[in-house]
Each structure stands twice: as C-alpha cells, then as structure tokens.
A and B are shown apart, each in its own frame.
Chain A
C-alpha cells in the first residue's frame, strides 16, 4: 500500500503553527510600529514656496516667535504672518535677493503665499494656542526645536496619547511665562520642575483636563 501523504506532511502542523506565529508577530509588530503618527507624521518636511529658515531668524538673529506669530497669545490658532510683515525688514535686508521674489511680489499684490501646513490635528480637535501659551506651555512642547530647523519638519506625533500625556500631568511641562518662546530653556532639575510646575498649576488655575469635551466638541 502506497502512502497517501508523503512523510514530510508529519511536520505540517508544526510548520503551520510556526508560520502563523511568525506571521502574526510580524504583522502585529509592523502595525504597531508603522500605523501610528509617530511614523506617518513625524518627519514630514514639505517643500515650502519660500525657503524661510527658522534657524536663521529665531536662533541666529534671536527674534521672538511672536514678532511674526503675533496673534498666538490672543487667538486659537497661531497665525502665519503677512508678506508685508516680512517686508518690515526685507525692504532693506536682502532686498533684491531672488529667493525673496515671491515675498516682494505678494506684499505688493496682496495675494497670499501658499505655505504648506505641517502640524495638523484632525478637524474635530479644537486645540487652542492662546490658552496654552498664556499658561506656561512653550511652543517647543508640541513643535520641537523649531529654532534649530532650517526647514520645518514635524517633530512630535500630535496624536491623542501625546496630548493626554501632558493633560494627565501638566506640572511636568509648565514653565515660567517669560520662557514660553525661549525654546532652548531647560528646567534646573527634575525636582525644581516638579515644584515650580505644581506652583504654576495652582497660580494659573491649570487643571488636569481629561474630559472628551475638553478637546472634542
């Protein structure tokens, strides 16, 4: 009587189990690693219509963030400045540089420059810039060290866990109000941050808000 199944089929169940385990682990690990903003969004660095360097303006020249983003303390969004604001300096500085042709042209015509937005949260998230920067949360917490970037790229994931990490423990992130736009500022030590953070929470009535309706309305 001949074999119906060849001999190697004895090992088939083991192979199926091993394959399924490996495959399952691989797919799980892949989804965990790749299907997240930490992979999909972090590092997004689109080509902008004008090669504006935050590193030059904010770091080398020492300009405050709020010279250009001047409504961030009053508005829920951080405004992109008008071209005419650029011309406050660039009517003299590099006034014939071809890299700034679009700025001069739009300042003249009143048409907008089509900057590419990098940091986006979903449209059902109502993030308010003013309430954060006015109560001790620095730009750097969400945007990273923009002052070191020649071209801006997204540094933080900005997913919900990211928001909640801070909302669960604001004291670890709050800083003195005069250091909000000082992106290089570091607390003296972890303990001093803890103590100051607790004091800031009390003084500025910062709550650890975790209701859905805090951000979703």
Chain B
C-alpha cells in the first residue's frame, strides 16, 4: 500500500519540478493546448504576414493617396498655411474653446513636456538628466513672437534637433497644443488687469 503513496508523491514532485508554478517567468512562447482557430491567417495590424511580398500586414501609404479620415484639403486648419500659397497663418484657424484648451494641456503634457517641461520652460526630464543639451524655452521672446502658423509648422515638421510630430499628433491636437502653449506664455507675460474681474481675487499679488 505504501508504494502507491510513494509513487504518487514521486509523480507530484517530478511534475512540480519540471513544470514549476503559475506565474514563473519563461522565455518560451505559451503552449496552446487547443488551438482551435485561435490563430487565423488573416491580417492583423503590425504583425508579420506572408500575403504581401514585404511581409507587412500594416500597409505603408501609397504615394499620392490619402488614408480614410485623413485631412488632405488645402485649408489653413490642415496645413497651417494660407490657401494656395506658402505663407503661414497668423493665428489659430479654429474656434478656441475650453475643451480645446483642456485637450491641449493633456496633449502638451504627453508629447511636449518630456523635453520642454510641463511649464514649457525647457526643463523637461531630458534636460534634467543631462541627456539633451539644447531644449527651447517656450517662454523665450523669440518663441513668443512666432506666429501660430510657424509653431504649427515646427510641430508638424520639427526644427533643428526636434523631430517631426506631424505623424504622431493629429492636426486638431496640434492647434490645441498651440492654444495651450499661448496660455502658458500668457501666464508669465500677462498682468492682473487682463484677468476678467470675477477671477481676479483668485490671484495673489
């Protein structure tokens, strides 16, 4: 009788020793015990697929075409330029709302603050750890004097060492960021007389 218990205990020890416990880190891909249609030969985004010669499932944009939902019209809101020319617009060609400013703040903190800092003063984390030498201070008079169209152009295509954010930040968000940046700049440049009367008491002298 005790052999039965012994054999049982041995089996348990062997299985646990070989298989380990739940949650153990493993380099091997998970075993799919019943792979019924779990992995289908359909295209999945950003996954390799043999259907196309270059093996990509997410197709690159074909030159001269526009993806659905993309902005392509030659309007100031899409290009930051006056229609038909190369002149950049003076001010944001969209209506500025509170929702837009809130959106701008959120997007600024996601996309811009790592380098320019959440105050826009150029003291983002990359500067503080000494990883980047030159980061523009967005309160610099040079930047303050730029037109909204020029800021839009810089965000879209980058400038000097700053990369292009056009591919990552949609058009509306770029304008929202610019609107928020202007409020950041005003927070340093404005004076108490410019604040609407009901809100003045909220500021300490």
Decide if B22 touches A92 in the complex (CB within 8 Å): no
Give Cα A42–Cα B31 distance, bound, in whole angstroms: 11
Complex interface: chain B residues within 8 A of A33 (CB): 22
Decide if A43 touches B37 in the complex (CB within 8 Å): no
Q: Give the residue of A18, A26, A92 whose beta carbon is less than 8 angstroms from that of B133.
A: A92
Complex interface: chain A residues within 8 A of B182 (CB): none
Q: Is A63 part of the binding interface, using a Cβ–Cβ cutoff of 8 Å?
A: yes
Q: Is B189 part of the binding interface, using a Cβ–Cβ cutoff of 8 Å?
A: no
- A contact residues, total (Cβ < 8 Å): 52
Closest residue of B by beta carbon distance from A23: B8
Give Cα A149–Cα B21 distance, bound, in whole angstroms: 20
Complex interface: chain A residues within 8 A of B111 (CB): 67, 70
Q: A19-B4, A33-B22, A84-B163 are in contact. Are A46 and B27 (CB under 8 A)?
A: yes
Q: A19-B4, A23-B8, A42-B23 are in contact. Are A91 and B161 (CB under 8 A)?
A: yes
Min Cβ gap A111→B in Å is: 9
Per-residue contact bits, chain A 64-102, to B (CB 8 Å; 1 contact, 0 not): 101100100000010111101101110111100000000
Closest residue of B by beta carbon distance from A80: B46
Give Cα A89–Cα B113 distance, bound, in whole angstroms: 12
Decide if A45 touches B26 in the complex (CB within 8 Å): yes
Q: Is A13 part of the binding interface, using a Cβ–Cβ cutoff of 8 Å?
A: no
Decide if A64 touches B42 in the complex (CB within 8 Å): no
Closest residue of A by beta carbon distance from B109: A64
Name which of B11-19, B85-93, B142-150, B194-202 contacts chain A: B11-19
Give Cα A40–Cα B129 distance, bound, in whole angstroms: 40
Decide if B31 touches A40 in the complex (CB within 8 Å): yes
Decide if A41 touches B37 in the complex (CB within 8 Å): no
5 examples of A-B residue contacts, CB within 8 angstroms: A30-B15, A79-B45, A80-B46, A91-B163, A122-B38
The 5 A-B residue pairs whose C-beta atoms are closest, nearest first, are A88-B163, A122-B38, A93-B131, A123-B40, A64-B110
Interface residues of A (CB under 8 A from B): 11, 14-15, 18-19, 22-23, 26, 30, 33-35, 37-47, 61-64, 66-67, 70, 77, 79-82, 84-85, 87-89, 91-94, 112, 114, 117, 122-124, 153, 178
